Homo-oligomer: A and B are copies of this chain.
Amino acid sequence: MRNVLILGGVAAGTKVAAKLKRMCFDADVKILTKDRDISYAGCGLPYYVGDVITDREKIIVNTPEKFAALTGAQVLTDREAVKLDPAAKTVTVKNLAEGTVEGYPYDACVIATGASSIVPPMKGVELEGVFPMRTPNDADGLKAYIKKNGAKTAVVAGGGFIGLEVAENLQEQGLRVTVMDMAPQVLPGFDPEMAAYGKRHLEKMGISVLTSTKMEEITGETKAEGVQTDKGLLAADVVVLSLGIRPNTAFLKDTGLEFAKNGAIFVDQQMRTALPDVYAAGDCAVVSNALTKETQWSPMGSAANMEGRVLAEVLAGKEQRFGGVLGTAVVKLPGMNAARTGLNEAAAKAVGYDVETVVVVNDDKAHYYPGADNFVTKLIADRKTKKLLGIQVFGPGAVDKMVDIAVTAITLGATVDQLENMDLAYAPPFSTAIHPFTGALNILRNKMEGVLDSMTPAEYLENRGRGYHIIDVSQVQALPEAQFVDVAKVNGPLEGVKQDEPILLICTKGKRSYLLQQRLKHFGYTNTKVLEGALWVNEPPAAEEERR
């Protein structure tokens, strides 16, 4: 049987080893890993920092010994791969414990070396109190430092998912937290107006968020005291660097492997690299987008596991392919969750789709059930094929459910029409009689069919509401500067409002505006728009005089 050498032992590496040994117990499977831990739960680290998980052992999924005994694979720790020779089919390895150099031959080599935190070459990054957030040791260091130094303020550099999770958990520990990002938004992958909604929520929850802000240096003598940015100095007893990750593939240059710009290795659907008998999976590999078929880097534990499983089957000789990722993500923020999958509006337009979108606010469970709240959902679809392309959801409830429905639909290439009357699960503690996914989808379909005429939050942010006569359709007047109309009392044209006047209808969540729009159409109004997401998602308009 074959000699399979696996470089790296976290998610993808251990998955390949375990599954391959189950399928071919004869195979000689060796994991070589630089670290002492294997198979740790990187995604759990923010919660370990926040003492949501108190027991360090819990985030170590398996020890090398236990894993080896259970699977039959060998695990050699403290081994850093330094060279791969594809002609000789050997890997040169530094034994970090003994300081020696070892050579390992292979019949098949799996590169699963993962990725490491990007630490910028910047003044102050070497100070005490500055931590990346990638390994259990990073989390241990941060926890201990906060305790020892009684840290009160934290700056998290990087507004991605891990950064935001760390921010929530540091806040839970009582620190005043600022999240900063060079990008114009946090929550990468969300469209800007949705990310702006998320940002406003974070600020409401007491986390400062600075976007389009450049970190210039970390200040302090021996330990971090602040972060100097192009917008000013931020106090910071601790600094967490969550600036992204870089594939651990530097040792592979000049081997003939093909790399993406960030250093990740291109693989095909069978996880094969450009070199014979060399495979890659996990954070160090580039796969494809299941929708667009374009290459996509998806450094997620979930993708790593799927890739590892497929690769094990390929190595075992099974006909198997990995169809690609959708870029799904979910994150818990303070008091709210956020999730997305598929293409966002910008990406869908860039690929050339004829994009339609809608932003909907609706109940996440029966409105009378305790804990009921709202989802804010953006759906993205293609006008031509009517295919659902993506979803973005915020809310304190089960945003993951909304996204998982969309993942299933997009994976199967569903059109919005096919999804119209799905018999989704309903009982008051879980959902609404008209499922929130269906509710949002119905509104998208109304829009695509021309029944709903609306302005998106993105358009509204671009000031496209300028020149519209604003009508407040809320149950109780919410916009003192605007005309207030009770939809229940409209039984003819509105006094003093011409039928061809451009009218923007705004209410609390959007439903009453839609009701009024339908009625106004009946009375001859031809130029009304419902503001999608209404006051729930959008900032109230400035007084009309100012706007004009």
Contacts and interface: CB of A to CB of B under 8 A. Distances in A.
Interface of A: 11, 22-23, 25-26, 41, 43-44, 47, 52-53, 55, 58-59, 66, 69-70, 72, 161, 165, 290, 298, 300-306, 309-310, 322-323, 325-332, 337, 339, 341, 366-370, 398-401, 403-405, 407-409, 411-412, 414, 418-419, 421-431, 433-435, 437-438, 442, 451, 487-489, 491, 514-515, 518-519, 522
A49 B371 CA distance: 18
B408 A409 contact: yes
Copies of this chain, whole number: 2
21 contacts: A23-B518, A43-B426, A44-B366, A47-B429, A53-B370, A55-B368, A59-B368, A69-B488, A69-B489, A72-B519, A165-B427, A306-B438, A310-B421, A332-B427, A332-B429, A405-B405, A407-B423, A407-B425, A408-B414, A408-B422, A411-B422
A309 B442 CA distance: 10
A212 B257 CA distance: 68
A47 B101 CA distance: 68
A332 B370 CA distance: 14
A22 B521 CA distance: 10
Contacts of A437: 404
Contact of A70 (B58, B409, B435, B487): B487
A302 B433 contact: yes
Given A59-B368, A327-B423, A332-B429, 6 more contacts: A23-B518, A44-B366, A44-B368, A301-B433, A323-B421, A407-B423
A74 to B, nearest CB: 13
Given A425-B328, A488-B69, A433 B11 contact: yes
B41 A368 contact: yes
Most chain-B CB neighbours within 10 Å: which of A69, A419, A425? A425
A366 B367 CA distance: 29
B326 A423 contact: yes
A481 to B, nearest CB: 25
A499 to B, nearest CB: 15
Given A69-B488, A518-B23, A302 B400 contact: no
Contact of A341 (B23, B70, B423): B423
A240 B421 CA distance: 33
Contacts of A22: 514-515, 518
A442 B310 CA distance: 12
A426 B488 contact: no
A426 B323 contact: no
Contacts of A435: 302, 404
Contact of A408 (B44, B66, B303, B419): B419
Contacts of A367: 58
Nearest to A415: B412
Given A70-B488, A423-B302, A423-B326, A428 B518 contact: no
